[in-house]
Structure 1
């Protein structure tokens, strides 16, 4: 038994204790119910859902995990939907070409099920070389590489989807396949063996439809509304058009929504026209929308946390008001509930050295203006059938 598996089984054993600890935390809720003033309750009143990513950890670790009682309390207060931050990606599930390790994701599923929280699947294929496992990029696909590559991808998608059955009703089948530099599709060892990126992505979706006919199948990417995203958006539109032309079973576009404030140089209102044109083009093709990974980098804002928090909140509200005007949008997920565990601090720290504040709660788990902005946007949103 691997150390990772032993740790994950320990976390499974600790689910009951963590549940009790979270229930004893002020503001925590009954399993699956949500608190009356929680964000998911506000979303549900308009026919939508609010959720967040969650990580795995050993019991009581200082991480954004279900096994951290303080973080679990935020999830159970505000969320009606969860997604694993990393634990379903190939790097986590596939230690080798011949072996799966589901222990950590199973622990997340067990906790979510105990609390009546559905889980999205993220993701079945992250189509960039740097995010695939190292063994995949050096894998020997043999004398008939296309057949071997198709078999490997089909096995992966089928195994994951069938393991969780109807417990997962929405999958990010393919993640980030478009290169924002030139709007072309990334190539991986898998796609080179299979004969190209498009056949690889198509196979992933067709396999997911067969293995999970009940599920919403999503293409997920980080094209956004900031000015330097125009080429990325164009590449995504081309990909979505190709899916439709080839009859690929894609149901929705996952709009990651890793937003970047523009300071005083450009207002949200200035970004709105081009962004609406993009969303209109997507929905005109018949695709639904999912906000899959919302957070806000406080770029070009002063170090003063009060000023930054207000700027982030205003930016969030303007963005959500636009997104929530689309009836095809149902689910809104943030990429972490609290600044303490946000991935952004490690990915892109501020040049002035002050800590990022990209999430609805601060590093002490206190609600910020961003949370109030999300609540206000949900309250003001048109009802969705």
Structure 2
């Protein structure tokens, strides 16, 4: 058997996990990768990787088992934190790119395209503290504009075509009211729209070949109607103001206890969600799933029952999303339960670890992996935006 370059890399990274003949047998029996299944319909499958400390939930990159799984299953990668303002902007005068540089070097050697997350997380809780206390001087609008322009241009110029897709703006719409969020930048510039518009325009000028994405976590639940409406207003405004936005990134943190407290899809829920997606694609936007996982905090039963419930809701959700030929990348926010951010998002009532990812904490596949695979096998072909 002749190994592809990526298969050879995956084998090398996994060295020591399976020895001798056992390793050869495991490779021979390995199912078709999720990325290979996604590519049948013109899409790609991928996941997040975190460059945090070894052993931390954000430290998946430090684990050779995770790196091997990333290479073997994925066709696109995004970093968890390493391109966010809080990590790369220690202060107004400097940038710190080393952690992200380490990750993108790995993905390039492994043949994995990198997504950039995010050029502007327009949320007051997730901007660096120094931004909130920054003195924008006598001409605050000009100073804030210069800060945003410098940040976006510096990142885009540094990485050029090495990053093919950016979540340019993240979570600019308040999920409770549907209004645009206020930050120190928007207060200085007289509103949120000038800030987010500027981020996209600078990204287009500096990275003209990259996909430019607005990313948010709106969902189908009845109490999220204001959030959906606010996102639609923002997308409509982008078109009206001729802001260069290509895709809507749907975070898809589904399940219970995160953003969408739903364990299934009623006919009403599905109808409202499809209406929202129909409105988005009617404006000419593409779609991407950018942060998929299934929070099982409130799922009851033994491990087998919980895993099946996770798989069932994932399959139902993905079947809906894959009905849209405008849907491109499908990116998970974690391949292994060992490194899922959801382990820190409220404990389960029974105190057991959560199981939101397609592989468990020992890197064994779970029913969720097969649910994703089955949805990809049944997907219709993609029509690029």
Q: Does the 8 A contact of 2:263 with 2:313 survive in 1?
A: no
Alpha-carbon distance change, 338 to 64 in structure 1, aligned in 2, over 3 angstroms? farther
CA displacement at 1:63 relative to structure 2: 5.6
State how 1:88-99 maps to structure 2 within 5 Å: 88-99=83-94
Residue matched to 2:382: 384
The TM-score, its normalising length taken from structure 2, stands at 0.89
1:330 matched to 2:328? The reply is: yes
Q: What SS does the corresponding residue of 1:169 show, helix, strand or coil?
A: strand
Please say which of residues 347-356 and 48-57 is displaced more in the overlay. 347-356
- Structure 2: distance between partners of 1:101 and 1:236: 32
Residue matched to 2:269: 271
Q: Does the 8 A contact of 2:76 with 2:113 survive in 1?
A: yes
- Structure 2: distance between partners of 1:58 and 1:224: 32
Residue matched to 2:183: 188
Q: Deviations over 1:127-177 (max 9, x none)?
A: 011100000000001111111100000000000011110111110000000
- Structure 1: distance between partners of 2:54 and 2:88: 21
Query: Of 306, 311, 314, which residue of structure 2 is paired with 1:313?
Result: 311
- Structure 1: distance between partners of 2:91 and 2:23: 39
- Structure 2: distance between partners of 1:117 and 1:198: 34
1:370 matched to 2:368? The reply is: yes
Query: Of 358, 361, 372, which residue of structure 2 is paired with 1:360?
Result: 358
Alpha-carbon distance change, 147 to 179 in structure 1, aligned in 2, over 3 angstroms? same
- Structure 1: distance between partners of 2:263 and 2:69: 34
Query: Of 174, 199, 203, which residue of structure 1 is paired with 2:198?
Result: 203
Alpha-carbon distance change, 327 to 265 in structure 1, aligned in 2, over 3 angstroms? closer
Query: Of 239, 250, 256, which residue of structure 1 is paired with 2:251?
Result: 256
Query: Of 157, 166, 170, which residue of structure 2 is paired with 1:171?
Result: 166
- Structure 1: distance between partners of 2:294 and 2:358: 10
Q: Does the 8 A contact of 2:120 with 2:199 survive in 1?
A: yes
Alpha-carbon distance change, 69 to 146 in structure 1, aligned in 2, over 3 angstroms? same
Residue matched to 2:6: none
1:110 matched to 2:108? The reply is: no
Q: Does the 8 A contact of 1:338 with 1:361 survive in 2?
A: yes
Unaligned runs of 5+ in 2: 1-8, 25-29
State how 1:1-385 maps to structure 2 within 5 Å: 20-22=12-14, 25-26=17-18, 37-57=32-52, 64-261=59-256, 267-385=265-383
- Structure 2: distance between partners of 1:382 and 1:143: 56
The TM-score, its normalising length taken from structure 1, stands at 0.89
Q: Does the 8 A contact of 1:18 with 1:69 survive in 2?
A: no
CA-based RMSD: 2.3
Unaligned runs of 5+ in 1: 1-16, 30-34
- Structure 2: distance between partners of 1:46 and 1:305: 32
CA displacement at 1:191 relative to structure 2: 1.1
CA displacement at 1:21 relative to structure 2: 3.5
